[in-house]
Structure formats: structure tokens, C-alpha cells
Amino acid sequence: MKRSEINHILAEGNDFIRSFGYVLPPFASLTPDEMIARKAELAGVIEARLGWDITDFGQGDFAKIGLFLVTVRNGLLADLQRGRGRLYAEKIMISRLHQVTPMHRHVLKAEDIINRGGGELVLELYRMDGDGGIDAEAEVAVMTDGQERRLPAGGRLALRPGESVTLLPGVWHSFWAEGRDALIGEVSSVNDDVTDNVFRDRVGRFSSVEEDVAPTRLLVSDYDRVLA
């Protein structure tokens, strides 16, 4: 992705989030220069990978395959491994109309996916087979706002604004918005996007960035290079 495209998507997404009355934490407003100057005091933000995340999953077509995310809270993987400390994470995301998040599952993370507003959020769901792949035949059981729902393999679950689904580790899922762009919340156990995503197809979790202009905000994938 070109940095100019990322800057534009970020500005549009920030306005969309605010249109629902959701206010991002202060670190989301920091410029790259401010983050560099304050990186010592922002060590917790950097270590937990809090901040902006815009990805086309390495496919070069954000309008069709992509996702807009902001990680607003996160513990550390070490916390999860020892079973104490900050064991939670929270994200706010945008799924655009006609834009798909590729089929994937998580190894450790359990998550609630919440439709916070906008269009319907549709999820395609599969169980994991014994080898870690997709079970194309088995029924899928998930909890939606405290009630169990059962769907056939590859069944599609539509969430209206205010509704949510709980996805346990190993549940394969892809999702997209219908009707209009959707604002999505995610409340989960500790989030580790470097190691905890398993994709069905050959895609990358983060985008390669062509630096055609200066960034208006850093992405979490910029931190190691810029703030090291």
C-alpha cells in the first residue's frame, strides 16, 4: 500500500469512528515526530502494540480485501502464558462495504466480535479439523450474546448493530459488511497479531508500505523500524 493511501484511509476511518461517538485514547492523536520524541514514556503503548493498523493482507486491493483496526487496550503474551496480569485486549475496527477479511483462526485468542453500528456484519464460520485445517462438514456452535447458535459448516451469521458473537480459539472465520460500512468492536484475550493468526490462504497479516509521502500517524507495524 502507498503511504498516501494509508493516510487517506486513516483520516476517513477516524471520522467514521467519531461519528458513532467513540473517542479514541490520546495516543491515537500523536504524530510520528511526537511519538519519537516521547518514546520512553510511550514504552507501554509500543510494547503492547497499541495504535493504528491498516492492512490489505498483502493483496494490493484494500477495497476488496482489507481491514481498518485500532488496538486501544492490550496485555502481553507473557501475561496470558502465566495466567495472570492483563489478560485482555480491545480493538475498534471498520469493515467497509464489499471488503472481506480473509478466512483465519487464532491459536490462543478468544474474542467477542461486536457490531457497534452501521451495516450488518456477516461472518462465515467453520470448525477446525484435527489437523488444524477447515472441517468442511462439521456443524459450528457459537455463542451470540449469551445464546448458543448452531450453523452448518460455512454457515453465515449476520449480526445487526448491538449484536455480538463469541469465537473461541480454533474457530475459522471470515467477515464483511453488508448494507453499509460497519463499525466493529473486539473484546478478547491478549492480542498477538505477529504469531496468533493462521490464514487459510496465502496472505500476510501486515501490508508492505511504499513511502511516497510522510506518514500522518504511525502504524503498529512501523514501530520496530521507527521507534527502535
Rounded mean pLDDT of 66-76? Answer: 97
pLDDT recorded at residue 80: 84
End-to-end CA distance of the chain: 22
pLDDT over threshold 90, residue 169: yes
pLDDT over threshold 90, residue 70: yes
Rounded mean pLDDT of 33-55? Answer: 97
Query: Backbone phi, then psi, for 122, in 5-degree steps?
Result: -110, 130
Q: How far is CA 219 from CA 23, 69, 72, 87, 152, in A?
A: 18, 10, 13, 23, 37
pLDDT over threshold 90, residue 81: no
Q: Can you give the CATH number for the domain in which 36 is found?
A: 2.60.120.10
pLDDT recorded at residue 77: 87
pLDDT recorded at residue 79: 87
Task: Quote the number of domains for the chain.
Answer: 1
Q: Which of 159-163, 164-168, 205-209 has the lowest mean pLDDT?
A: 205-209
Percentage of the chain exceeding pLDDT 70: 100
Q: How wide is the angle at C-alpha 207 spanned by C-alphas 201 and 211, nearest 5°? A: 155
Residue 172 domain boundaries? 3-226
pLDDT over threshold 90, residue 228: no
